[in-house]
Structure 1
Amino acid sequence: MSKSLQAIRGMNDILPEQTPLWRYFEGTVARLLDNYGYKQIRMPIVEFTELFKRSIGEVTDIVEKEMYTFEDRNGDSLTLRPEGTAACVRAVLEHGITGGGQVQKLWYIGPMFRHERPQKGRYRQFHQIGLEVFNLDGPDIDAELIIMTWRLWGELGIRDAVKLELNSLGTSESRGRYREALVEYLSARHDKLDEDSQRRLKTNPLRVLDTKNADTQAVLVDAPKMADYLDDESRAHFEGLKARLDAVGIPYVFNPKLVRGLDYYSKTVFEWVTDKLGAQGTVCAGGRYDGLVEQMGGKPTPGVGFAMGIERLVLMLETLEQIPQEISRQVDVYLCAFGEEAELAGLALAERVRDELPNLRLQVNAGAGSFKSQFKKADKSGALYALILGDDEMAQQVVGFKPLRGQGEQQSIAWDALAAHLATCVVQG
């Protein structure tokens, strides 16, 4: 027998019972970003491989081990995007929308792809909402990004479950001086480092700071600190960011080992972390990348942004039981009609109601069926109320109105009064 078809490991279906929570989360974020003046951009999920090598860095774990790269029919090397910032920078450069110092505040949503070991909260196809701002170089815009996420956590009811970690990586020059000091320190203790850190010491030494190995962490206790190598401009920028967060009342923790996994970051880096999801503790992260646009062929253009993982935040809402009751109900009203004449009248009546109440979730029974079977489907739909059209109702030009989720007797409502009655009842329900 042939092997049954199934999804690729680490690439998951999002089933109908799951999508309401996804739509709630995505809608909440979209409204928030609209309110702060951000505009949506949509990029392809496939880019030339060179884009990510130039932006992310050829010696990062993503480029070395995790990208889905293939050759197309023209012989071009293409890659499924592993992150969104590089693609967004490519788009703004290609279309010239940051030229002349134009400020752009952009956001995007969609799937990303990395060939990692699948586990809870970490998948090979995962979804992110990302945000990028160009041509603003002060700490005020860095603060705005963090303040927006703080507001989002409050709206979602998860603010008490996340913690903000901050660091500054300085300019490329100050980071270069720090890298030299760190390499010198770690090279003298090479045999005490774990194997992965020994490899990173030669390719991307700052990533050693990010190690989870306890022995290497012990070595790092007395290692040089980035804060001691910051230039005056970066130090003033970081102090300005902290002052703004203090003014708004957002708590944070200074984490000198926070470096992020991509080469393009400079100055501000931050992560929102949680202890509610086991090993996958980061739910939103980002920072400043003032040299990236120039690195990719554009003019010097300051940039800052973040990305948040939708899977992890949806899982967090489930774990903390912060799921609004109303999103579990996909139908407000279910219309049952018995007989062909009633079915025709029911269709027309339903459309009249939808004209007057465009936000009402009204489902009309399909497939006919007995009184018992239609009511069973009405109940299973989760609707608050059932509407009934039979011979008696047709003769009187009324519709039966029956509560399905609580107290109340069935009553008859005139067709021309139905929309007004539903507007009151569904709001109350």
Structure 2
Amino acid sequence: MAAERLRAPRGTFDVLPPDSGRRRWLQALCAEVLERAGFSYVETPVLESTELFARGVGASTDIVRKEMFTFSDKAGRSLTLRPENTAGICRAYIEHGMHKWPQPVRLWYWGPFFRHEAPQAGRYRQFTQVGAETLGSDDPAIDAEAILLLAEILERAGVERLRLRIASLGSPETRQAYAEELRSYLRGREAELAPEVRERLDVNPLRAFDSDHAGTRAVMAAAPRLLDRLAADDVEHFRAVLGLLDAAGLEYEVDTTLVRGLDYYTRTVFEFESAALGAQRGVGGGGRYDRLVAELGGPDTPACGWAAGVERILLAGANGPAKAGPDVVVATATGARDAVARALRLARELRAAGLAAELAEPGRALRRQLRRADRVGARAVAIVGDDLQLKMLDSGAQTPVAGPAEVVRALASGGEGADPGVTA
């Protein structure tokens, strides 16, 4: 019986060229935008204590209830593959005493995350996120800066048909009082709600706003709105954020149904959508989480941040520049050992001089090495034989050259002025 063919686990995928080049381009773009704004790159463990997410993300959330990959290690400790990174960043902020650093602390990250979801386009069980967090300031300008930085990344990445939704959740106390009001409203119309919404009424009635169920959506259309229940200081904060976005010329839509799916949010919440993605439109979003560091055992630390799905950004139209071919392919006229050794040395010297130099497979016939050079889009081929020849692939001109320095000069001048010599 034939062995079962091995495949990547369901909901995961391999990143292969040319898609890997698009990802690297997007990562470089994120680094450029965020580090220019004063954000420093950090990495946190892929594995964290399960308690971190239960306390930080919220026991009532779908992430904690249904989607985490959790297991016990050999010592019986419960560990979880990280489903998000804000809780991990806050844990690191506390553990390493970052409250003693100059405030605010600006951090950004890029890496793999894991959720046990039903796989579909743009949603996977292992996915990549880029995110940015600012800890140590409650100024509305921090909220506006976070939104503007994500907008810049998405716009420069070429994400199509963007829409920004924004709202405020106020304080946990305001939200708790509003949740009681909303719960009472929904109890009076419980028969019209989706089963999963009814199941969550006691735990988190605000999630009813996220339901796609027709009956639930009809009920929610007339539901009271949290935005109308905010305390005066929360209203002032939200108006200040909107004013800063107006001054920056960024369009947005105040959406009273936006609640986000994580319990730690306070005040500003926002989400960027792309109509290019169809029904599942979310590209990235976030908000303020002023109580999370303290809830995890640290000092009172206001904070704001966001995360965006790399796969979703790429699906929404971010293509990046096409990968350029090498400057030169180093080929060998024969497979003799000394020629191969000289080819390896030449390739190293050309790279040290700043050229992209690819070594052709020495055992192949020269014509096949030349064919590969053409297929990979090389500008020229350096042919190592009894002497060193440089062949320009656009013109077909082939000339003897003395060494790597002359190869560099010839490519810098585009091969102009060289003796055409013979053509292979």
TM-score, normalised to structure 1, is: 0.91
Query: Is 1:374 the equivalent of 2:369?
Result: yes
Query: Is 1:402 the equivalent of 2:392?
Result: yes
Contact 2:329 2:378 in 1 (8 A): yes
Query: Is 1:350 the equivalent of 2:343?
Result: no
State the alpha-carbon separation in 1 of the partners of residues 172 and 237 from structure 2: 15
Partner amino acid for 2:196? D
Q: Percent identity, please.
A: 40
Q: Give the SS at the match of 1:307.
A: strand
1:29-428 correspondence to structure 2 within 5 Å: 29-99=30-100, 102-158=103-159, 160-317=160-317, 322-325=319-322, 327=323, 329-339=324-334, 340=336, 341-357=338-354, 360-391=355-386, 394=387, 398-403=388-393, 406-407=394-395, 409-415=397-403, 416-425=405-414
State the alpha-carbon separation in 2 of the partners of residues 197 and 288 from structure 1: 26
State the alpha-carbon separation in 2 of the partners of residues 365 and 101 from structure 1: 52
State the alpha-carbon separation in 1 of the partners of residues 39 and 4 from structure 2: 47
State the alpha-carbon separation in 1 of the partners of residues 302 and 31 from structure 2: 24
What is the aligned length? 411
Distance 1:113 1:420, change over 3 A: same
Distance 1:135 1:190, change over 3 A: same
Kindly indicate which of the two structures has a greater share of residues assigned to helix.
Answer: 1
Q: Give the SS at the match of 1:74.
A: coil
Contact 1:402 1:409 in 2 (8 A): yes
State the alpha-carbon separation in 2 of the partners of residues 223 and 262 from structure 1: 21
Distance 1:100 1:372, change over 3 A: closer
Shift in Å, 1:267: 0.3
Contact 2:183 2:205 in 1 (8 A): yes
State the alpha-carbon separation in 1 of the partners of residues 134 and 254 from structure 2: 23
Q: Give the SS at the match of 2:308.
A: strand
Q: Gapped runs of 5+ residues in structure 2?
A: 416-424
Distance 1:201 1:101, change over 3 A: farther
- CA deviation map 1:87-113 (0-9, x unaligned): 111111111112477321011111111
State the alpha-carbon separation in 2 of the partners of residues 277 and 154 from structure 1: 15
State the alpha-carbon separation in 1 of the partners of residues 351 and 140 from structure 2: 48
- CA deviation map 1:306-346 (0-9, x unaligned): 0010111122236xxx4313x2x352321112133443333
Q: Give the SS at the match of 1:78.
A: strand
State the alpha-carbon separation in 1 of the partners of residues 163 and 119 from structure 2: 25
Contact 2:332 2:362 in 1 (8 A): no
TM-score, normalised to structure 2, is: 0.92
Contact 1:368 1:374 in 2 (8 A): no
Shift in Å, 1:411: 4.2
Distance 1:333 1:317, change over 3 A: farther
Partner amino acid for 2:306? F
Contact 1:338 1:368 in 2 (8 A): no
State the alpha-carbon separation in 2 of the partners of residues 69 and 130 from structure 1: 23
Q: Give the SS at the match of 1:353.
A: helix
Partner amino acid for 1:30? A
Shift in Å, 1:156: 1.6
